[in-house]
Amino acid sequence: MIDKIFKDRDDAYKQLYDKLPIASMKMYNWIVIATSLNSVPIAYKLSKDLEGRFDFLFTQKITAAHNSECEIAIISETQEIVIHEELLRSFEIDIDDIYQEAKQKYNKDIQEMILKYRDGKKLINMQDANVLLIDEGLNTGLTMMACIKTAIGQKAKSIAVAVPVLPEVTIDDVDSIADDLYYVKSVPHFVAIDSYYENLENLSYKDIKKIME
């Protein structure tokens, strides 16, 4: 049986907050970025605590042809692509097919989301900024890696990552390209994010708009 670490997102936020060096972080200006739809409540609260600016970074998954749960790659709204090389080889997928599908996801899904939920505005300018990337948990870590690559590509001054829970195997990958990594719990045999929450409701974009209003 899997031990529940958090009651809900509010509890995850409180526990994550305690892991952050808030006093020293408040000495700097921050841009806090939600890297998934469901992470917005946590990210938005932290942006208020740090008196920083907030935005949402749109991404899309590229999955295996016969398994919609199996992430092969991620593309971000700045067209940064991160590919799971081992799965690519295991499924014998042509990398050109991945780039082709990523292009389609960008042109259709991501552009549509930017237009609908950000009124067509570009992602907040991260150049020379301290960026804090937030998620409610990591599964494979591909989405977070794509978001880190986006921040690097946007010439952020520093990049910190904060998540309530993540697999142990992703720690070194994230730590290798982010300046700081904060988390409440790392799990050796990770199952799924919602397995570590007693209550974790999926949020819609309408829910997110209400939170931000």
pTM score of the predicted model:
0.93
Residue range 82-109, pLDDT digits in tens: 998 887 777 778 888 889 999 999 999 9
3-state helix vs strand vs coil in the chain, percent to 5: 45, 25, 30
Q: CA triplet 31, 136, 70: central angle to 5 degrees? A: 115
Predicted confidence pLDDT, tens digits, the chain (213 residues): 678 999 999 999 999 999 999 999 999 999 999 999 899 999 999 999 999 999 999 999 998 777 777 789 999 999 999 998 887 777 778 888 889 999 999 999 999 989 888 889 999 999 999 999 999 999 989 999 999 999 999 999 999 999 999 999 999 999 999 999 999 999 999 999 999 999 998 888 777 777 766
The order of strands in the sheet holding 67-76 is 59-64, 67-76, 81-83
Q: What is the pLDDT of residue 213?
A: 65
**CA dist., res. 175 & res. 110, Å (int):** 27
DSSP string, 31-89: EEEE-SGGGHHHHHHHHHHTT-EEEE--EEEEEETTEEEEEEEEEETT--EEE-HHHHH
Residue range 143-177, pLDDT digits in tens: 999 999 999 999 999 999 999 999 999 999 999 99
**CA dist., res. 17 & res. 77, Å (int):** 28
Instruction: Classify residue 195 by its DSSP letter.
Output: G
Bridge partners (DSSP) of residue 25 are: none
Q: How many residues does the chain have?
A: 213
Give the list of residues 6+ apart from residue 201 with CB closer than 8 angstroms, or none: none
